[in-house]
């Protein structure tokens, strides 16, 4: 088996985060999906005005959900979008200690390695043997890491929340540079329905993790799967 310069850990929902050998952080292999987020809603329950059934229905009005194995020409419906900052932070806190939004430069590193990740698709699937079925299905379909084209994504830039990315072509045909940092306020009106996010976790020592799924070169996340 070829040497793979990436290792995986898994968040509380069982979804993978990836780290290149030269990085000091792990970054989610996908933007946060509705599959993940609905497990958070079930576990966390309502919080003041957020995370109620009505709150989630309102969120889905602009970007309806679809089956995780049947997205057709609308893959953006797999991922959560249009959430306020407070809800994003609540989800990241649920994932575990050290989870946060990516910084611009961290997201750019994922973009740089996106095609390299595809070279190791089979090995990554093997590492995800214990992950939820959508993870392996989406990787097998090439629907990762969605950096060159996918969702617009929230990042932090010198303490401010901004966004990067290039929308799925079928949603918004464009010649955008995915690495361009943009103001969120300029996106909310016409592209808010595709404004998602992914998680980053600072690198941790191997002594903090449990045995990995699959081949054993990765590390299971802080809380595993409840």
Domain with 102, as residue range(s), is 6-148+196-203
Tell me the per-residue pLDDT of 122-139, one tens digit each, with 9 for 90 and over. 999 999 999 999 999 999
In a domain, 88, yes or no: yes
Q: Which residue has the tokens 């969605």?
A: 146
In a domain, 224, yes or no: no
Confidence of residue 91 (pLDDT cuts 50, 70, 90): very high
* 16 pLDDT more than 70: yes
Q: What is the DSSP letter of 211?
A: P
How far is CA 70 from each of CA 4, 57, 78, 182, 219, rounded to the nearest angstrom? 30, 20, 9, 31, 30
Structure-token pair, residue 79: 């991922």
Supply the pTM of this predicted model: 0.89
In a domain, 20, yes or no: yes
Structure-token pair, residue 87: 């809800």
In a domain, 190, yes or no: no
Q: What is the mean pLDDT of the chain?
A: 89
In a domain, 209, yes or no: no
* 214 pLDDT more than 60: no
What percent of the chain shows pLDDT beyond 90?
Answer: 81
Q: Which residue has the tokens 């793979």?
A: 4
Number of folded domains that form the chain: 1
In a domain, 36, yes or no: yes
Confidence of residue 204 (pLDDT cuts 50, 70, 90): low
Tell me the per-residue pLDDT of 49-62, one tens digit each, with 9 for 90 and over. 899 999 999 999 99
Tell me the per-residue pLDDT of 135-153, one tens digit each, with 9 for 90 and over. 999 999 999 999 999 999 9
Tell me the per-residue pLDDT of 98-124, one tens digit each, with 9 for 90 and over. 999 999 999 999 999 999 999 999 999
Residue 221, preceding bond cis, omega within 30 degrees? Answer: no
Q: Which residue has the tokens 């419906």?
A: 77
Q: What is the structure's pLDDT at 1?
A: 74
In a domain, 185, yes or no: no
* 161 pLDDT more than 80: yes
Give the mean model confidence (pLDDT) for residues 29-56.
94
- Determine the Cα–Cα distance for residues 130 and 128; give it in Å rounded to an integer: 5
In a domain, 157, yes or no: no
- Determine the Cα–Cα distance for residues 128 and 203; give it in Å rounded to an integer: 19
| Better pLDDT: 224 or 23 | 23
């Amino acid at each position: 088996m070829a040497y793979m310069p990436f290792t995986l850990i898994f968040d509380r929902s069982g979804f993978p985060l990836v780290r290149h050998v030269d990085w000091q952080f792990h970054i989610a292999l996908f933007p946060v999906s509705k599959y993940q987020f609905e497990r958070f809603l079930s576990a966390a329950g309502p919080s003041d005005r957020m995370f109620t059934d009505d709150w989630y229905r309102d969120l889905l009005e602009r970007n309806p959900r679809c089956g995780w194995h049947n997205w057709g020409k609308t893959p953006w419906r797999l991922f959560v979008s249009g959430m306020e900052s407070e809800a994003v932070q609540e989800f990241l806190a649920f994932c575990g200690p050290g989870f946060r939004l990516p910084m611009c430069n961290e997201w750019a590193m994922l973009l740089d390695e996106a095609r390299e990740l595809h070279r190791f698709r089979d090995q990554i699937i093997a590492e995800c043997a214990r992950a939820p079925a959508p993870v392996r299905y989406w990787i097998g379909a090439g629907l990762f890491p969605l950096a060159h084209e996918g969702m617009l994504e929230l990042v932090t830039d010198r303490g401010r929340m901004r966004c990067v990315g290039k929308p799925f072509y079928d949603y918004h045909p464009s010649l955008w540079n995915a690495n361009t940092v943009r103001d969120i306020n300029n996106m909310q009106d016409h592209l808010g329905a595709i404004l998602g996010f992914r998680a980053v976790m600072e690198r941790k020592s191997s002594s903090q993790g449990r045995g990995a799924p699959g081949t054993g070169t990765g590390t299971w996340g802080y809380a595993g799967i409840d």
